[in-house]
Structure 1
Amino acid sequence: MSKDRVIIYEEADADPRADVLVIDNEHGRTRVRAVPEPGQLAGLVRQLADEGADRFELCGGFGAVWQAEARRVLGEGTPVGAIYYGFESLASIASYKARFEAGEVLAEAFLIVHEGADPGSDRVVRHRDEGGRTTLVAVPDLAAAAEVAAEMAGELQLIELYGGRRPDDAEPVIRAAVDAGVPVGMSAF
């Protein structure tokens, strides 16, 4: 298991030097950072790796091109994952992308598996000036991730799952959310 993992997403006016959420316990540390534009990703991952980060996961908004860029910067020794969507989520993620690009007010959740996390207290909600929000929730395991997904699905347009070992780890979250029309993305390395 990673001892110092960083999750990175894009958010307008973000300060990439500031942690948005930190879970730090005997099982390791997970931090969430945001960059205001993708071009800042390479410098941030290099800096964080120099400070000891040993695993990175990138939001689905980055995709394969930025995942490859981060891998080039870090080399083969540091795992870099990115969020991808399975076939069951393709129609709804395409709809989400179109709605996002049209400026619609949307809400998404990032579910972050970190052993020992408490979804009640390890939670941050980021409200956007133009409306909408990103909710970051750390959960202790995949069963808790599925519970949180089921509870929140009615108010979300997107869920991303971080911290799985394999893409099929997302199965319980997918079952909890996709029937409600919420696309679920999962990390792939």
Structure 2
Amino acid sequence: MALNKFGFIFTGEGLDPCSDRAVIEKGQFSAIIIGMSNPDGVEKIAQELVQDGVQLIELCGGFGPLWTSRVINAIKNQIPVGSVGYGPESINMMAELFPAT
């Protein structure tokens, strides 16, 4: 089976997951990109993506392993969930962009 429907969720100030969405389509492939202002509610968004037929979800590095785990549990591990990772050279810069809440 080929990947033909991909979901990517990222965070950014003031973004609303209901309206801040984009779809890229080419042939049989589509990618759904969703922006959120904070991680709260990402589980529901992931569940909606699974119901919509997304085969793989990737989370922006700002979510971190805790939120990735919460998404995996929320969708009952039905599809692969990954998260963008950053090497040690980027850790301090990432902490400035995504301070702990």
Name the TM tier (shorter chain).
Answer: 0.7 to 0.9
Q: Percent identity?
A: 24
Tell me if structure 1 keeps the 8 A contact 2:20–2:36.
Answer: no
- Contiguous gaps of at least 5 residues in structure 1: 103-189
User: Residue 93 of structure 2 corresponds to which residue in structure 1?
Assistant: 95
DSSP 3-state at the match of 2:85: strand
More relative contact order, 1 or 2 (CA 8 Å, 6+ apart): 2
Tell me if structure 1 keeps the 8 A contact 2:62–2:98.
Answer: no
> Deviations 1:146-180 (Å, cap 9, x if unpaired)?
xxxxxxxxxxxxxxxxxxxxxxxxxxxxxxxxxxx
Deviation at 1:80, TM superposition (A): 0.4
> Deviations 1:90-122 (Å, cap 9, x if unpaired)?
133313423x368xxxxxxxxxxxxxxxxxxxx
Deviation at 1:2, TM superposition (A): 2.0
The separation in 2 between residues aligned to 1:92 and 1:84, in whole angstroms, is 10
User: Residue 152 of structure 1 corresponds to which residue in structure 2?
Assistant: none
Higher helix share: 1
Tell me the C-alpha RMSD between the 2 structures: 2.0
1:36 counterpart letter in structure 2 = S
Q: Structure 1 runs of 4+ off > 6 angstroms?
A: none
Structure 2 length normalisation: TM-score?
0.82
Structure 1 length normalisation: TM-score?
0.47
Please say which structure displays the higher CA radius of gyration: 1
Tell me if structure 2 keeps the 8 A contact 1:3–1:29.
Answer: yes
